[in-house]
Amino acid sequence: MASSPVKTCVMLLNLGTPDAPTPAALRRYLSEFLSDTRVVEIPRVLWWLILHGIVLRLRPRKSAKAYKSIWTDRGSPLLALTQDLADAVRRVLDSDGHDDIRVEIAMRYGNPSIISRLEALRRLQVDKLIVMPLYPQYAAATTASAFDAIAAVFKTWRRIPALNFIAGYHDDPAYIAAVSESIRSFHAAHGAADLLLFSFHGLPQRCRDLGDPYVEQCLDTAERIAAQLGLPHVAWRVVFQSRFGKAEWVKPYCVDVLKSLPCEEILNVDVVCPGFAVDCLETLEEIAITNRDIFLAAGGVSYRYIPALNAGEGHARLVAGLIKERL
């Protein structure tokens, strides 16, 4: 970072990624991620025993293999695509006359860490910080955890900048329009399938019972996108992916639905994941590869994943728009 003072900075936050697709790097990453009390809400002593006695002994090797299958010359897709998005947002802001605004990225877990980015910004004497977690739908395990990390750093500072924290944008018209246009463009190029699945990251049912608005926001997002596309109700469904552990999670589970669709004579499926700003392990390996194999093995004929918005112009403009509203 430059040493001259910066008045306003935007920080785009994403979940995070290991530094390398190796068991050792995954162990470090998963230890940080799964130690967050917002992510796993069970008694600490019990979870510590499970985490260190089972999870961190078995999961890193399996996860490293999955990461290796999607790793690129630039490293982690999530990190590279998040940086691409930040660069695209910066270009939009520059073209709109806001070339004095700095745009940085940080990861909730892993690198570049929130604390390292904030300490660098403190040296730049930033007066105002706009933090945008790249989670359209609010959940305590993601959005609130990001706020916790920001607040934990600020608690140690004598002087803190003005803070504007964007806690979600699940119903923002520009976001709905950008996802809708992405789906429309995909269908224009490849044709539409029998069914469009909106697949969101799963959530333990207990979190919903405790008051997380996440599921309702996911359903609202899908409803708005489907309405903008003019889809009848029979042409789309909402599912939830990436269930972990034995507890009940919100349903329907993506895998279960994919296995059942051929029995309903639905043999061609498109899947989109509006909750992911950029593509990552979960979309590129789980959704695009593993779940495709599951659907085809169950009797499906065609399965296609519609990519995330990534660093597309529509995405950059919607992020820049949300930022400009807070200037």
* Residue 282 in marked binding region: yes
- Nearest by Cα to 280 from 250, 249, 307: 307
C-alpha distance across the termini of the chain, in Å: 22
Instruction: Show Cβ contacts of residue 299 under 8 Å, excluding neighbours closer than 6 positions.
Output: 262, 263, 267
Tokens found for residue 180: 């809708």
Cα 281 to Cα 288: distance, rounded to the nearest angstrom: 10
H helices of the chain, in order, are: 23-34, 44-50, 56-70, 77-95, 114-123, 145-154, 173-190, 205-209, 214-229, 254-260, 281, 291-297, 313-324
Rg (CA), the chain: 20
Query: What interhelical angle do 56-70 and 23-34 show, nearest 10?
Result: 120
Cα 287 to Cα 296: distance, rounded to the nearest angstrom: 13
Asked if residue 269 lies in contact with residue 194, where contact means CB atoms within 8 angstroms, the answer is yes
Sheet of 195-201, strands arranged across? 236-241, 195-201, 268-272, 302-306
Binding residues: 201, 282
Binding residues for Fe(2+): 201, 282
